[in-house]
Amino acid sequence: MAANKGPRNATPIKASRQKQERVRRVAGAHSARTSLQDRFRSWRQHHQDSFKDALQRLNAARTSSAMTILVIAIALALPAGLAVLLDNARAITRGWDGNAHLSVFMEMNISEQRQRDLARGWQGLDNISRTEVITREQALAEFKALSGFGDVLEALPDNPLPPLIVVYPDETDPVTLRALENRLAEADGVDLVQLDVEWVRRLHALIELGERLISALTLALAAAVVLVVVNTIRLAIESRREEIVVVKIVGGTDGFVRRPFLYSGFCFGFAGGATAVILVQVALWWLGGPIDELLALYNSEESLTSMAASSLIILPVFSGILGLLGAWLAVGRHLGDIEPNF
Amino acid sequence: MIQFDRVSKRYPNGKDALSKVSFTLPAGQLTFLTGHSGAGKSTLLKLIMMLERPTQGQVLIDNQNLNGFGNRQIPLLRRKIGMVHQNHQLLFDRTVFDNVALPLIIAGYARSDIGKRVRAALDKVGLLDKEKLNPIMLSGGEQQRVGIARAVVNKPPLLLADEPTGNLDPALSEEIMDLFKDFARVGVAVLIATHDLSLIARYNHRLLTLREGRLVHDGDEGGHHGS
């Protein structure tokens, strides 16, 4: 008598054998006697149906769905677009890193031959990829040509410019450069070493700051996407209250009730993410001309690169997962409130 | 099919909706459940559907003690129970066919099977030609019959009806009652909660009467009301 699964035809049925068989079969069809394969098939079928149903509902309420999708798209396009711009900035400065160099000013009385010997000797040292010799005469000529103070220099009795060796490092990380700077400063015949990487480091710091800001922005806007979906699904649950009641009365499991809403949430998220991709691409196309022009003015050969191909997939999927999460939260919070009553 | 063993239900507000109610409903029997509003009819149905749990006592359905059921088993229990409502509880965003098919989809029947079973149920209630219509286009009596088709489409061993003839004229009520009698005849336990004393008087079936949560009468209709 307890909660075990007693024989289903234990109750006396005043009926033909055939009828008994039917009752037994029917009673069994939804419990122990449903084969695993059948259950899996109907489970998969319901997933397909829920997905189709979610798409149809999206389409049926086109205007409000479009609004929700656009809100999600805008929320995601902002950090995604900024991330693309930042990627571009990083790529460009990677090129600029190659120009990092140390200007090694030699003592004034050093001979030109000695200067060349030293430069050649340094080329074999660690972390130095090449050196370039600029003699006092070359420096003077260059200064005259570039500065416009040629006449003033003519008036001076001696060439005031020191001999210079430009050292190009093979590594550009700040620690290596600093160590190289110290080593060169103690070398024979060296007066002063000047490291021209401060601006590169500042730029790197700025880029890092940008990355942090985008991360924070992404988190905040991802939360916004989840909340938008929570609200949308909450309204959907409310508008389908009657259906949920009926489904529960005729024996629908919580999973069965939940599934269409989870698919809806995923669809909202995915469509929002896909729309965000389009928004970003359009914005990049719109900005592409002026940015390339700006880069050309900075003598850069880089041009604006758009989103990585993988992002085209990752963004909608990520957004779909956010939608799923939002739907899950909404369902968990509101589905329990709806119970049949009579 | 249904066994109540000294079942009491007290709601959190302190109201005793049922007090020590015991009865047994065998398969193949049609039984009326009556009593004034607030006598405990709804609570009794809710205990069978596991919309509520008893405070004391045991409810057994199909020899299974519901006290041992966790929340996850409730849907499986409800699939054994066909429920007919006074207000039909039909969904007006889909066809008659889809309304009736819902319990089968939920229970995981194969697609090919569903069509056959839905049409058999609609045929039984005489609405086979209306399967493609929206239930909103049907009359009250027809809507109630769609509700009955949905309740019996997966051939549950137990059929509950809550005021099934509440809004129907006597002729339509009789049609509905004939359907219930047919189901009882093929072995379904049928329990009909109703106020409608004239309906009860017209049929000589077992009658359970509740008054203030107590079962004050259990027997055939004649013993209580006269005729």
Q: Decide which of A96 and A85 is more confident.
A: A85
Q: Structure tokens of B12? A: 């959190």
Nearest CB to B75; choose among A3, A245, A252 = A252
Q: Is the pLDDT of residue A16 over 70?
A: no
Task: Centre a 10 Å sphere on the Cβ of residue A68 and count the other Cβ atoms it contains.
Answer: 23
Name residue A206's amino acid: L
Q: Can you tell me the ipTM of this complex?
A: 0.89
B71-105 pLDDT tens trace: 889 999 999 999 999 888 999 999 999 999 999 99
More confident residue, A73 or A26: A73
Which two tokens mark A313?
A: 């997939």
- pLDDT of amino acid B5: 94
B contacts of A12 (beta carbons < 8 Å): 26-27
C-alpha to C-alpha distance for A277 and A301, rounded to whole angstroms: 26
- Pick from B68, B102, B186: which is nearest to A19 by CB? B186
pLDDT of amino acid A23? 43
Chain B, nearest residue to A246 by Cα:
B89
pLDDT band for position A34 (cuts 50, 70, 90): low
- Segments in A61-166 forming alpha helices (H): 62-97, 112-122, 136-147, 150-155
**Dihedrals phi, psi of B141, to nearest 5 degrees:** -65, -40
- Arithmetic mean of pLDDT, A329-337: 89
Is A252 in CB contact (< 8 Å) with chain B? yes
DSSP B187: T
Taking each helix axis as running N to C, give the angle between helix A62-97 and helix A198-239, from 0 to 180 degrees, rounded to the nearest 10.
170
Asked if A18 has any chain B CB less than 8 Å from its own CB, the reply is no
> What phi, psi does B25 have (nearest 5°)?
-110, 115
- DSSP secondary structure string, A215-255? HHHHHHHHHHHHHHHHHHHHHHHHHTHHHHHHHHHTT--HH
Of the ranges A42-56, A243-257, B96-110, B135-149, which one carries the lowest mean pLDDT score?
A42-56
Asked if the model's pLDDT at residue B38 lies above 60, the reply is: yes
Average pLDDT over residues A215-230: 94
The tokens describing B15, both together, are 């109201």
Q: What's the pLDDT tens digit per position in A126-163? A: 788 888 898 888 888 888 777 777 677 777 778 888 89
Res. A7 pLDDT band, cuts 50 70 90: very low
| A270, containing H or E segment | helix A254-297
Q: What percent of chain A has pLDDT over 90?
A: 30
* CB environment B3-21: b (16+ within 10 A), e (fewer): bbbebebeeeeeebbbbeb
Q: Are B149 and B125 in contact (CB under 8 A)?
A: yes
Q: Specify whether the CB–CB gap between A341 and B51 falls below 8 A.
A: yes
Residues of B in contact with A46 (CB under 8 A): 105, 108
**What is the distance between the alpha carbons of residues A200 and A205, in angstroms, rounded to a whole number?**
9
Centre a 10 Å sphere on the Cβ of residue A223 and count the other Cβ atoms it contains: 13
Q: Is A56 on the interface with B (CB under 8 A)?
A: no
